[in-house]
Every structure is written in C-alpha cells, then in structure tokens.
Amino acid sequence: MTEALHVGIAGLGTVGASVVRIIADRKEMLERECGRPITITAVSARDRNRDRGIALSGMRWFDDASALAVSDEIDVFVELIGGEDGVALDSVTKALKAGHHVVTANKALLARHGFDLAKIAEDRGVLLNYEAAVAGGIPVIKPMRESLSANTISRIYGILNGTCNYILTRMEDEGISFEECLADAQRLGFAEADPTFDIGGHDTAHKLSILTSIAFGTRIAPDDVYLEGIANITQADISAARELGYRIKLLGVAQRTESGIEQRVHPTMVPFSSVIAQVAGVLNAVAVETDILGELLFSGPGAGGNATASAVIGDIADIAKSRPGFQHGPVFGTPAKDLKPYKRARMKSHEGGYFIRLTVYDRTGVFAAIARRMADNNISLESIVQHSTSADDQNDNKTVILVTHETTESAVRKAVEGITSDGHLVDKPQVIRIERAG
C-alpha cells in the first residue's frame, strides 16, 4: 500500500467539521478507491475549545493557519477559512510555495487572486483544486477542465446562489413579499444576517467569473460582470411572469460574442418548459453549451456542510490518486501563462427578449407615447397587456406589461429612458431579461 496522504485542514466550521467526520466515517472506502489512506494530520481554527461534534484526537492543532500551511507534516493544505484576503490568501500562497497541494472552497479568494495562485501552483508542479468553490457539491469544475477538453464552449449559465433561488421559489409558491421571504430565509439559516453579498448577486458573480475563465481561457475578471440583484423583484413581477408562462430566476450568464466575453448576473425570466425553471429552493444548476455534446446541465445541492464537504473530499481524493512524477493539468484548464486578458463585450451586443413593467398614469396618450418610444428604437413587441394597479380600480394608475421580441440591451435602455422622460411613469420601470434556456 502506498504511503498515506497527509492532510491539514484550516477552518473547522460547518464544512470543515463535515470533512473531518466524513473522512473518518468513510476511511476504508476512500483507501480502497484511492489506493492509499487519507489521514488528517493537523487542523487549525480560531477556537480550540469549541465543541464541533467531531473527534480531533491524534491531530496536531495549529493556532496559526499559515504555520500549518508550510508544515512538513502535511501533503495537502485544505483552506476553509473564507475571505478573499488576509489569512486565507496568506496561507494558500505559502502552502503552494512550500510545494503542498491545495484544496479550497473559497470562491472569493479565487475570483480575486486565482490567476496569481494558478501561476504559483503550476510553477511548483502542485495541484490547486476548487470544486467546492462553485455550485457546492455539484461536480462542474472537473468536467469543464477535463472531460470537455475536445469541446468548444459557447455559453454557460446557471443558478449559482441557493439563497436567491430559495427566496424566488417561495415568493412564487406562497405569494409572499421579498422582504417577508428574506426574513424567513435568515431565520432558517439560508441567508446571512447581512444578505447583501447573496441577494445583490455578488456571490453569483464570483462563481460565474471562475466558470468564465475555464470556459473561455481568459483571466478571471469579477469586476467586469454586469450585476443586478433580486431586491427589486415584486409579487407583480412574479405574477406577470406566471401569466406569460415564465418563472423568474437569478442567473449568471457568460457567453462569447464578436466584441468579447459577456458576463452578466441578473433576474431572468425562463420558460416553464425549460429544465432550469424546475430547479427550486436552495438547489443550484449549471448549463454548459458545447459544439460537440450540445447542452449539458449539472444540478444538485449548491451549499451546506455535507454537499460542500463532498466536493472538498473529491478534490482530496483526486490528489491521493495522483503519484509522484505525474504531470498535473492547468488550474483553469488553460496554462496560467496562456490565459488571455479578459475583453469585456459591449452590453449592446446582448440580444434577447425583454419583460418591461411600467406603472403609468391612466390618461390619454400614454399608450401612444410608449409605442412611439418602442418604434423609435426598432423594438418589436410580442405582447402588451394593461392591468389596473388595484382590484377595485379606484386609483388613476395602470400597470402596462410589455414583452419584446429579440432586441438589444442598448435599444431597451434608450426606450425606457425615453418613456421615463415623457413623464408618464408613477414608479421606476422594471426591466427583466428573457433568457433562452434548455
């Protein structure tokens, strides 16, 4: 039997504790599949005395994660600390430079520093594995890096944040407001006390930027993601979408265009008939469009201790199966030195249908003004529906729902700006893209 793989884990929160427990419970299975034992030799966390419900006997405790990262007692450093800088960045950098393999679930770290870390890993001939950083327990990184090597990817899109998907699902199923649903999500532990990172789309943007790098061979560019969150989604939008045969999801979308790579995160209407529309609750899904295999969809638990731990352990197992002298593949599928600088596509290059909800004063000439602004920007309408803003129609406002045929982002923006300047709107207009989805 080959010598054991010695693992050090920094961070013993929900995920870290699950990793320790599962490796202990599945020791014989992992040894049989990997051809060698996997042994957790050392751990590090902020509170040595906290009861985590796991056995840590026989493991050396490090108060300093960076000291664990360079310890000669380990072969693999597992970073589960979190955060894009600070201890996480310092310890991962030191581990790679010390010649240790690294496994991380830290999407923020990779989105911000992945290119530099990949260069170090490839120069040192060690692995930097991060399956758990995107879509939790769903295996999508390894298939994109390895299994799809012969395919050209044209587009990737998906539901990458379980908190947002949970909120939108409950809003539709139960008819409750965004604010009420968010409060419930926080109470149940699906949303943080400060949920901005999730509901603002930032978490999805970090994950999307990593997938974009793998798909298109570019350097990670999290600051070049067009970003909209879900805080402005109302029951009026949910209800109108349902009437039109759509469901609203927060999607991350990246695709190759003639002017560059387009990355965007925003609420999107997808047809009821699409597979991704059926992904409910805290589940995640990633769709990959390829020239040889067509569209592939990966779906499953996107977060949680066991789901994320499963991906972390899979990455550790891959390292256990490798042998000295084995040539490791590039961190992002393309060698770091060959990753192209990211070229952001012009937003006007995005084409598709749009849902536009306008609350207008009920007076003569409003419909004509709206139609004129659409025509001036060469926007063809698939449908236009008028609703009263209240059941008894006692006020002077109307809700106008427009669904466009395929048009451009810039045309829609100009049309909506024109309608706003005409002075017919009671409230801020709502614009939601309609996405082609399998």
Question: Catalytic positions, please?
Answer: 207
Cα(298)–Cα(303) distance, integer angstroms: 14
Chain centroid to Cα 115, Å, comes to: 18
User: What residue type is assigned to position 198 of the chain?
Assistant: D
Count of H-run helices and E-run strands, the chain? 14, 17
The one-letter code for the residue type at 266 is H
The answer as to whether 376 is a domain residue is: yes
Does an H or E element contain 400, and which? strand 397-404
Which positions ≥6 away from 279 have C-beta within 8 Å?
Answer: 159, 165, 249, 285, 299
Residues 179 and 245 in one domain: yes
Q: Return the H-helix or E-strand segment holding 271.
A: strand 260-271
CATH of the domain at 179: 3.30.360.10
Per-residue model confidence (pLDDT) at position 165: 95
Tell me if 330 is assigned to some domain: yes
Instruction: Tell me, yes or no, whether 274 and 375 share the same domain.
Output: no
CA 127 to chain centre: 23
Residues 331 and 367 in one domain: no
Q: If 0-12 CB within 10 Å is exposed, 13-18 middle and 19+ buried, where does residue 78 land?
A: buried
Return the CATH number at 329. Answer: 3.40.50.720
Q: Are 207 and 234 in contact (CB under 8 A)?
A: no
Domain count along the chain: 3
Are 323 and 375 part of one and the same domain?
no
Domain check: are 152 and 295 in the same one? yes
Residue 344, in any domain of the structure: no
Choosing from 281, 315, 338, the residue where a domain stops is: 338
Residue 343 lies in a domain: no
| Residues 63 and 170 occupy one common structural domain | no
Decide if 277 contacts 247 (C-beta within 8 A).
yes
Q: What is the pLDDT along the chain (438 residues), one digit of tens a residue?
A: 579 999 999 999 999 999 999 999 999 999 999 999 999 999 999 888 888 888 888 899 999 999 999 999 999 999 999 999 999 999 999 999 999 999 999 999 999 999 999 999 999 999 999 999 999 889 999 999 999 989 999 999 999 999 999 999 999 999 999 999 999 888 887 788 889 999 999 999 999 999 999 999 999 999 999 999 999 999 999 999 999 899 999 999 999 888 889 999 999 999 999 999 999 998 999 999 999 999 999 999 887 889 999 999 999 999 999 876 666 789 999 999 999 999 888 765 556 799 999 998 888 888 889 999 999 999 999 888 876 655 444 467 888 999 999 998 889 999 999 999 998 898 899 999 998 776
Per-residue pLDDT, 326: 64
pLDDT, residue 336, reads 95
Q: Edge-to-edge strands of the sheet including 101-104?
A: 60-62, 38-44, 5-10, 76-79, 101-104, 128-129
Same domain, 315 and 229: no
Instruction: Give yes or no: residues 157 and 240 share one domain.
Output: yes
The pLDDT, as a whole number, for residue 393 is 46
In a domain, 12, yes or no: yes
Handedness of CA 253, 276, 164, 307 (dihedral sign): negative
Q: Cα separation of 368 and 360, whole Å?
A: 12
Q: Residue 259 and residue 58: Cα distance in Å, rounded?
A: 57
Task: Tell me: do 172 and 126 sit in the same domain.
Answer: no
Please report the pLDDT score of residue 325 as a whole number: 60
Please indicate, yes or no, whether residues 173 and 223 belong to a single structural domain of this protein: yes
244, 274, 301 - which closes a domain = 301
Query: Residue 374 is part of a domain; what is its CATH number?
Result: 3.30.70.260
Residue ending a domain, among 272, 301, 330, is 301
In a domain, 373, yes or no: yes
Instruction: Check whether residue 118 and residue 163 sit in a common domain.
Output: no
Q: Which domain holds residue 171?
A: 142-301
384 lies in some domain = yes
In a domain, 155, yes or no: yes
- How wide is the angle at C-alpha 292 spanned by C-alphas 286 and 297, nearest 5°? 15
d(CA 412, CA 410): 6
Same domain? 370 vs 291: no
**3-state secondary structure at position 275:** coil
**If 0-12 CB within 10 Å is exposed, 13-18 middle and 19+ buried, where does residue 29 land?**
exposed
Cβ–Cβ under 8 Å, residues 34 and 1: no
